[in-house]
Amino acid sequence: MRSAYGLQIAIPSAHTYGLPTDEWLLPEALKEAGYETDLIGKWHLGHADRKYWPLERGFDHHYGPLLGEIDYFTHEQHGVLDWFRDGKPVKEPGYSTTLLGDAAVKLIETHDAKIPLFLDLAFNAPHAPFQAPEADLEHYKDIADPARRAYAAQVTAMDAEIGRVVKALDEKKMRDNTLIVFQADNGGTRNMFSGEVDTSALKSLPPDNGPYREGKGTVYEGGTRVAAVANWPGRIKPGTVIDEMIHEVDLYPTLIGLAGASAAKAKVPLDGLDVWGTISEGKPSPRTEIVYDLQPFRAGLRQGDWKLVWRTPLPQAVELYNLATDPSEKDNVAAAHPDNVMGLQQRANELAAAMVPPLMLQIEFKAMKQRLSLPPALPDDDVIDGAAE
């Protein structure tokens, strides 16, 4: 989980830290096991120093942005190009979703099928800014809200590229021996400012998280419960629905186990659990706890059906929800279940004691302290002449 690395908050473009280099990552483990490893798309785990870049972290190839909130057509953020091929900047025309799909299809078409392949295809769609090609926008001309129309078109464009990738696997006769995992990384944005992209001029934000509360950046279900699909012909029964707790960190040990790779070089204990039996055979998930977030000002923690939302700055707020009966988190039952609250708070404190404090907050507080320690600047008309009076 991100709190293990100090990355509870996504890395802003102005910051220089990254995912610690002593971590043993999934592409490193798979590469050691004989896989070709390719990242096509967003990285966002360190951009300011090459030691954090994908080719230094186990990937054989990378194509796409190092950050995430780029312009879909210029591939820039704040006017700076953020589009690379194997560590070298590339300035080229094209809609980013289409370019990433093109690269993935070409990779599959030219790949030696005798060599196992790990492809991390990380589209930046449908992240803000809300932009799409005219042809895809035309499909949704009846949607009056331009942001909502662009959002729908972004999803359509991404869906088309995923279809092309699946078709390429079929034509290469790799499909039957390929596990495809599709997942979102967070719920839709419901705050009027999304990361480094200012959306305050919009009348409303286009994402809709259905019955789930709030959205990205919060520890409520609307920000953290996301769709995921796993497909492997002959290994996963079509139409299977898993209603068990699975966390994104579970992919690491699950994929390593399927690939016959080793996590021996990883730091222990791993947060992730092997959930292949749950996905492929419908077995109960070995996961009983989910850590949503741990920061100095809040905690989100679930054990079984009980979920704690704890905001610690004064006046603190403590919320407890039973997700089995209240997945929309409308009924705070903390007062009625003080023992559950106490147990979850104790667990949150135990985990927080072992976590790495958020690196972004550390840097921001340090910069603030430095600014406060500087003498106040004098106005121009108060500049002191060096001559003695």
- Is residue 196 pLDDT above 90, yes or no? no
Least confident of 5-9, 31-35, 234-238: 5-9
Instruction: Tell me the whole-structure pTM to 2 decimals.
Output: 0.91
In this prediction, residue 164 carries a pLDDT of 98
Query: Which residue spans within the chain are E strands per DSSP?
Result: 36-41, 61-64, 76-77, 80-81, 84-85, 88-89, 117-122, 180-183, 193-194, 197-198, 228-231, 289-295, 298-303, 306-311, 317-322
Cis peptide before 376 (omega within 30 of 0): no
pLDDT tens for each residue of 52-63: 999 999 999 999
- Is residue 332 pLDDT above 90, yes or no? yes
In this prediction, residue 321 carries a pLDDT of 99
- More confidently predicted of 377 and 305: 305
- More confidently predicted of 76 and 367: 76
Token pair, residue 381, equals 């008309």
Where does CATH 3.40.720.10 sit in the chain? 16-288
pLDDT mean over 41-45:
97
* CATH 3.40.50.10800 is right for the domain spanning 291-373: no
pLDDT mean over 303-319:
96
- Is residue 384 pLDDT above 70, yes or no? no
pLDDT mean over 68-85:
95
Q: What contacts 154, CB < 8 A, 6 or more positions away? A: 72, 97, 125, 126, 130, 131, 132, 136
Least confident of 72-81, 119-128, 364-373: 364-373
In this prediction, residue 1 carries a pLDDT of 57
| Interstrand relation of 117-122 and 298-303 (parallel, antiparallel or unpaired) | unpaired
State CA 352 to chain mean position distance.
Answer: 21
pLDDT mean over 189-202:
73
pLDDT mean over 228-234:
96
Where does CATH 3.30.1120.10 sit in the chain? 291-373
* CATH 3.50.50.60 is right for the domain spanning 16-288: no
What is the largest distance, in Å, between two alpha-carbon atoms of the chain? 92
Give the whole-number percent of the chain exceeding pLDDT 90: 80
